[in-house]
Amino acid sequence: MHFLARAALAAAFALPLTGIASAAPEPPFNFDTTYGNLPKDVVPRAYVISVTPDPDHLALTGSETVKIEVRKPTKTIIFNALNMTFSRASVDGVAATVVPNDKTQRATLTAGKLLTPGMHVLALSYTGKMDTAGQGLFRQPYIGADGKQHVMVSTQFESTDARRMFPCWDEPAFRAVYTLSATLPAAWTAVSNMPVASRVVKGPTATTTFQPTAKMASYLVVLTAGDLKSISGVDANGTRHEIWTTNGNEQDGQYALANSKQILEAYDAYFGIKFPLPKLSSIAVPGGFSGAMENWGGITYNDQALLLGKSGTLGQKQEIYSVQAHEMAHQWFGDLVTMSWWDDLWLNESFASWMSARQTALANPTWLWWQTEDGDKEGAMQADSQITSHAIQTHVTDELQAEAAFDPAITYSKGQAFLRMTEAYLGPDTFRSGIQLYMQDRKFSNATATDLWTALSKASGKDVAAYANGWIAQPGFPVISVTASCDASGNRTVALHQERFLLSGAADPNATTWTVPVGIASGNGAPSYTVLNARDASGIPAGSCSEPLRANAGDIGFYRVAYDPATLATNTKAFASLPDDDKIVMLDDQWALTLAGKADLRSYLALANAMGSDHNTRAWNQILGALNTIERDERSKPGHDAFTAYASALVHPLYDSLGWDPNPNDAPPVRQLRHAVIGSLGEWGDPGVIAEARKRFAAFIKDRSTLPPDEQSVVIDTVATYADQATFDQIHALAKSAKNETEGQRYFFALAMAKDPKLAEQAMEIGISSEIPPQAASSRPGFVFGTIDWNPALAFEFGKAHGKKIFEAMDGMNMVFIALYAPPAFADAAPLDQVQAWVTTLVPPGSDAFIQRGMASAKLAQQLRARIVQQADAAMQAAKT
């Protein structure tokens, strides 16, 4: 699963998270002993499900038969069901009673006679509810390509919502075969995991029956239906690829179709097991939930994450490619081999994230994708630098915890970075051999982390569990202090010392250590790896003292490095000559050490000033991000103007050399860098930048061809920030006349950037109005979060007054993430007790622990802001004297 909104929130307010119990090391997968809330004495083998959705009344009727294997004599069968009423139940034709319990989300069936071990047939008839948010079987209204209001239906079952559409053993270890039929309006088309087996029209309705699925987990079943059209093609290995969209949008799926074929062929080769289903559908749902879901053979996407129209941008192409690569990796990691229980969700999500980054980088070399992903790694490190962070592997006991395990910072981004480090440590070929062994051994079944370590150990001859357990079962990561010594002839050796890195600056109360593959390189030489498996190590050869030292060579390790002062001075002097990846990681580390109070801001600014004429996008984005943070923290403080002047002077040479107009020879990331530097200078109030943006905006209003899609946001965002009412109205008119949602969001979100409080309020009102089409309802929170930048108190008051409307498209479970991310985002908007009281009204019952973690993040955010303002003022004072 991939969450656009959740990941965006996490990145924007990168201080959340958490404090869930770490899981104990586990045995290999074993069905009988794997954790779960359902008894294992009755096991489903094959379901035949018939469902008739009634979207007009948000209701559904269904019937199903399940071939079950009874493993010891019993009269009682327990399975999952939610919001269901049972009209008929039997086992082997003998009537039975069912008592559902919506509190536990389980139903208890009592059979008419004792069931003996062996195969039996359970039959159930029921009615249930449809949802309006993206969970279970839901109704999705949308404005179609014809401009008219339409309705379609779709499903979203992960983690625990299949039970809302059909009674089932809704836990990942209960794999079974599903044969699904759906009765729907005859004018509609239905899509599911497997190809259509039959379609029978009866008057105004049609019943579509799909071929039986492979043995799989219940959360991977999918049904989408409506006025749908498709484009398709066959890849080199014979798999049919389909892109499904609402009628009239199918040509916008051409980019995704080409990607789908390319990615699946690459994965067939990497895993050594060909995609096992006859077809792979990618289904664009207008709305639903803000992300994508890897249902086996029928991946659903929010249409913004799959379709690329004429007004699409490079950023959207990158997002579509990487989200597809993520969901398609799940066809193996998650679907073919499923985690045994939610504790090991990382086996799905960390792998899909890593595989996606690897594939996106390989197939699009000009995007410098691993450098872009450094931003995600930094987000993970920031979250993981809090004492309340949690391990990649966490113990889950209920539905809310299962949902919370989908934590973008740790389960996705830290897991991805850990796997990249592991691949480098074992070697890419060895790592791949281990993955292929694991897939062969566990296909069509489930797995634990231990199964993976066993396969990787077999492939590498190394004790992978001993290395890996510290990374997946412990929260946090180390900072490695590097102290160099030089002998008389200038040969360098280094001593290493590790301890947990905490942003608060406090000492680690648990004295954690890790097994760390430390990649050390001297000058621009190749790295050699030292495995640091104790707190200290010394006497490690590290080239010549006259050369710079790279102790996380290539930005591959998930740790920070603190260099001794002399080595840091050497590195700073030689900074411009270092490889880009090493510049990036040194900037990241020095900034984080500064935030933690472990380094002087001047040491970081010295690196930033040493960038010279280098146009590396990620390095400059790191610098712009740090300067933006300080500028925001300094607002309304006496040091603001001095700092802004300093920051502007630092980045002006870059701005001058890049200019405003795209150069056809620019690599794609350089185009994005141009926008980033203009955006920052605009935000800092640079008069020249604001004037130029206004000039270009005026031309655009007269003639829309003057700004191609990629060039619009940078102009319009800057103009919107300093807009008066007339300009605001012009942007608003652009938004209202947008030809599609992509364009609409570009203009609508610009409105929320207005500095003028009166206009900011208008923007938030627009955000909750019917101007936002139903399929874009999940964008409503963006208007309020966008307003925080300039008008935090106003955003908070508006959120308090309209919380229900703002978050209407988010299902209850998703709101757990509001508990985590809203408090740090609003840390300066209102007294923290008021923030806590408001968040409490938004989130589902049982979220107290999540709110507490969110509040801890808010307090840390305040502490860091105070610290960085003090550091910035001191640095500016020193720069003056």
Shortest gap between Cβ of 597 and Zn ion (angstroms)?
A: 36
- Given a contact cutoff of 8 angstroms between Cβ atoms, the answer to whether 861 and 14 are in contact is no
The secondary structure element, H or E, covering residue 437 is helix 428-442
* Helix and strand totals (H; E) in the chain: 26, 30
Pick the stretch among 171-179, 348-356, 809-817, 829-837 that binds Zn ion (CB under 5 A): 348-356
**Which residues make beta-bridge pairs with 110?**
76, 97
d(CA 719, CA 713): 10
- For residues 2-41, which are near Zn ion according to CB under 5 A? 2
Tokens of 379: 């987000």
- Given a contact cutoff of 8 angstroms between Cβ atoms, the answer to whether 56 and 62 are in contact is no
208 or 416: CB nearest Zn ion = 416
- For residues 318-337, which are near Zn ion according to CB under 5 A? none
SS3 label, residue 689 = helix
Pick the stretch among 345-353, 569-577, 718-726, 820-828 that binds Zn ion (CB under 5 A): 345-353
Rg of the chain (C-alpha set): 28
Shortest gap between Cβ of 475 and Zn ion (angstroms)?
A: 21
- Smallest CA-to-CA distance from 849 within 873, 828, 871, 820 is with 820
Alpha helices, H only, 524-576: 565-573
d(CA 641, CA 131): 51
Strand 478-486 vs strand 59-70: parallel, antiparallel, or unpaired? unpaired
349 or 451: CB nearest Zn ion = 349
Shortest gap between Cβ of 357 and Zn ion (angstroms)?
A: 13
- Work out whether 1 is an interface residue with Zn ion (CB under 5 A): yes
Q: 327 an active-site residue?
A: yes
Shortest gap between Cβ of 291 and Zn ion (angstroms)?
A: 9
Pick the stretch among 68-76, 350-358, 586-594, 595-603 that binds Zn ion (CB under 5 A): 350-358
Pick the stretch among 86-94, 349-357, 472-480, 703-711 that binds Zn ion (CB under 5 A): 349-357
Shortest gap between Cβ of 295 and Zn ion (angstroms)?
A: 11
411 or 740: CB nearest Zn ion = 411
DSSP letters, 473-535, are: HS---EEEEEEEEE-TT-EEEEEEEEEE--TT----TT-----EEEEEEETTPPPEEEEE-SS
Pick the stretch among 55-63, 114-122, 343-351, 768-776 that binds Zn ion (CB under 5 A): 343-351
Pick the stretch among 26-34, 352-360, 642-650, 672-680 that binds Zn ion (CB under 5 A): 352-360
Q: What are phi and psi of 763, to 5 degrees?
A: -65, -40
Shortest gap between Cβ of 715 and Zn ion (angstroms)?
A: 35
SS3 label, residue 769 = coil
352 or 751: CB nearest Zn ion = 352
d(CA 356, CA 657): 34
252 or 349: CB nearest Zn ion = 349
Shortest gap between Cβ of 778 and Zn ion (angstroms)?
A: 18
- Given a contact cutoff of 8 angstroms between Cβ atoms, the answer to whether 648 and 684 are in contact is yes
d(CA 783, CA 860): 25
Shortest gap between Cβ of 346 and Zn ion (angstroms)?
A: 11
d(CA 791, CA 757): 7
1 or 168: CB nearest Zn ion = 1
Out of 43, 89, 216, 352, point to the residue binding Zn ion (CB under 5 A).
352
**Active-site residue identified among 26, 242, 294, 327:** 327
The secondary structure element, H or E, covering residue 57 is none
Count CA within 13 A, CB hemisphere, residue 114: 4
DSSP label of 414: I
Whether the ω angle into residue 544 lies within 30 degrees of 0, i.e. cis, is: no
- Given a contact cutoff of 8 angstroms between Cβ atoms, the answer to whether 801 and 389 are in contact is no
Shortest gap between Cβ of 105 and Zn ion (angstroms)?
A: 23
Neighbouring CB atoms inside 10 A of 318's CB total 18
347 or 585: CB nearest Zn ion = 347
10 or 502: CB nearest Zn ion = 10
Shortest gap between Cβ of 848 and Zn ion (angstroms)?
A: 27
82 or 355: CB nearest Zn ion = 355
- Smallest CA-to-CA distance from 216 within 176, 179, 180 is with 176
Quick one: 13 exposed, middle or buried, by C-beta within 10 A (0-12, 13-18, 19+)? buried
- Count residues binding Zn ion (CB under 5 A): 4
208 or 348: CB nearest Zn ion = 348
DSSP E strand boundaries for 683-776: none
The contacts found for 83-87 with CB under 8 angstroms, 24 or more apart, are 83/128, 83/129, 83/164, 84/126, 84/127, 84/128, 84/167, 85/126, 85/127, 85/128, 86/124, 86/125, 86/126, 87/125, 87/126, 87/127
Shortest gap between Cβ of 31 and Zn ion (angstroms)?
A: 24
d(CA 137, CA 128): 10
- For residues 638-657, which are near Zn ion according to CB under 5 A? none
- Work out whether 405 is an interface residue with Zn ion (CB under 5 A): no
138 or 412: CB nearest Zn ion = 412
d(CA 359, CA 266): 8
- For residues 453-472, which are near Zn ion according to CB under 5 A? none
Shortest gap between Cβ of 415 and Zn ion (angstroms)?
A: 11
- Work out whether 825 is an interface residue with Zn ion (CB under 5 A): no
154 or 356: CB nearest Zn ion = 356
**Token pair 């603001």 is at which residue?**
640
| Those residues with Cβ within 8 angstroms of residue 813's Cβ, 6 or more apart along the chain or in another chain | 135, 399, 400, 403, 844
**Token pair 């940078």 is at which residue?**
714
Shortest gap between Cβ of 420 and Zn ion (angstroms)?
A: 17
Strand 291-293 vs strand 560-563: parallel, antiparallel, or unpaired? unpaired
SS3 label, residue 824 = helix
352 or 396: CB nearest Zn ion = 352
Pick the stretch among 13-21, 137-145, 342-350, 689-697 that binds Zn ion (CB under 5 A): 342-350
Q: Enumerate binding residues for Zn ion (CB under 5 A).
A: 1-2, 349, 352
Residues with catalytic function: 327
